[in-house]
Amino acid sequence: MTIFACVNTKGGVGKTTTAVHLAAMLAASHPTLLIDGDPQASAASWAAWRRENADFKSSPTTTCLVGKAIVSEGRQLSAGFAHTVVDAGGRDSAGLRSALLLAQEAIVPVGASNLDAAAMTDLLTVVDMAKDYNPDLRVRVLLTRLDPRTKDVIDMLVFLKEQSLAIFDTTICERVAYRRAIGEGATVHEVGKDRAAIAEIEAFLKEATA
Ligand SMILES: Nc1ncnc2c1ncn2[C@@H]1O[C@H](COP(=O)(O)OP(=O)(O)OP(=O)(O)O)[C@@H](O)[C@H]1O
Ligand SMILES: [Mg+2]
């Protein structure tokens, strides 16, 4: 049983996109719980749209929890599933801290820009605190929304290595397929059939579950 949490104090980095893809891919083979821990409820909206489309076969069981309930109720609920994925809200909040207490695997989606790097300081403080209570927490950074035409990713990798952060080998590019998928309650496998998107998200799944 593995509990993943997609976390970052910065907004719009791809937490929900990563969480729903991970949960849907895991649900294809094992009972999976998706906890929407963001009061904006984007993952819950995705799940509601997904329920409306009978073609989308495997779905995670989705629930919304806020604040400390993510760790208290989340612990009980996750015991009934092979895997759990928490989509934590952006901002340093009780919900984010609770997600980091519940999780075994923290996945930190980040873009490759100076703003993303600057915003990481906040998150690293919260992660350090969480590790006092959850010493086995594994933290890995996932570079997302990358523009392959720029060299920004090289600078970001240097920064992340300076922070001694573990980084996924897989990177996620900015692709229309992701935006479309989320808006339709789907994954990139189910809309548009962008092969590059499917390949990278499957490589991410393999690494996340390794
Ligand atoms: N790889 C990608 N390619 C293209 N668009 C993306 C990608 N990842 C995310 N997006 C789009 O960027 C926006 C923000 O993504 P997402 O909602 O996953 O981020 P978030 O970190 O959960 O944001 P929030 O902090 O608001 O919860 C959405 O419109 C989403 O469709
Ligand atoms: Mg989100």
What SS3 string covers the chain?
CEEEEECCCCCCCCHHHHHHHHHHHHHCCCCEEEEEECCCCHHHHHHHHHHCCCCCCCCCEEEECCCCHHHHHHHHHHCCCCEEEEEECCCCCHHHHHHHHHCCEEEEEECCCHHHHHHHHHHHHHHHHHHHHCCCCEEEEEECCECCCCCHHHHHHHHHHHCCCEECCCCCECCHHHHHHHHCCCCCCCCCCCHHHHHHHHHHHHHHCC
122-164 per-position pLDDT tens digit: 899 999 999 999 999 999 999 999 998 888 899 899 999 999 9
CATH number of the domain that residue 40 is part of: 3.40.50.300
Site of tokens 């290595």: 161
Cα 90 to averaged position of ligand 2 atoms, centre (Å):
7
Q: Give me the percent of the chain exceeding a pLDDT of 70.
A: 100
Q: Give the pLDDT mean for 192-202.
A: 95
Cα 128 to averaged position of ligand 2 atoms, centre (Å):
22
Cα 97 to averaged position of ligand 2 atoms, centre (Å):
16
Work out the burial of residue 62: count CB atoms within 10 Å of its CB; fewer than 13 is exposed, 13-18 middle, 19 or more buried: buried
Cα 107 to averaged position of ligand 2 atoms, centre (Å):
13
Structure confidence at residue 152 (pLDDT): 85
Q: Is 170 in the pocket of ligand 1 (CB under 6 A)?
A: no
Q: Whose CA is nearest to atom 15 of ligand 1?
A: 14
Cα 88 to averaged position of ligand 2 atoms, centre (Å):
7
Which domain covers residue 40, as residue numbers? 2-208
Least confident of 21-30, 74-83, 144-153: 144-153
Domains held by the chain: number:
1
89-115 per-position pLDDT tens digit: 877 789 999 999 999 999 999 999 988
Q: Give me the percent of the chain exceeding a pLDDT of 90.
A: 86
Mind spelling out the 3-state secondary structure of 29-86?
CCCEEEEEECCCCHHHHHHHHHHCCCCCCCCCEEEECCCCHHHHHHHHHHCCCCEEEE
- Using 50, 70 and 90 to split pLDDT, how confident is the model at 14? very high
Q: Is 194 in the pocket of ligand 1 (CB under 6 A)?
A: no
Decide if pLDDT at 25 tops 90.
yes
Q: Of all atoms in ligand 1, which is nearest to the CA of residue 89?
A: 27
Least confident of 51-55, 64-68, 81-85, 175-179: 51-55
Q: Is 145 in the pocket of ligand 1 (CB under 6 A)?
A: yes
Sign of the dihedral through C-alpha 181, 91, 171, 204: negative
Cα 202 to averaged position of ligand 2 atoms, centre (Å):
20
Q: Is 12 in the pocket of ligand 1 (CB under 6 A)?
A: yes
Q: Whose CA is nearest to atom 30 of ligand 1?
A: 179
Structure confidence at residue 57 (pLDDT): 86
Structure confidence at residue 28 (pLDDT): 96
Q: Is 42 in the pocket of ligand 1 (CB under 6 A)?
A: yes
Structure confidence at residue 91 (pLDDT): 78
**Full-model pTM:** 0.97
Residue among 20, 108, 182 to mutate when testing ligand 1 (max atoms within 8 A of CB): 182
Q: At what angle do helices 195-208 and 15-27 cross, to 10 degrees?
A: 80
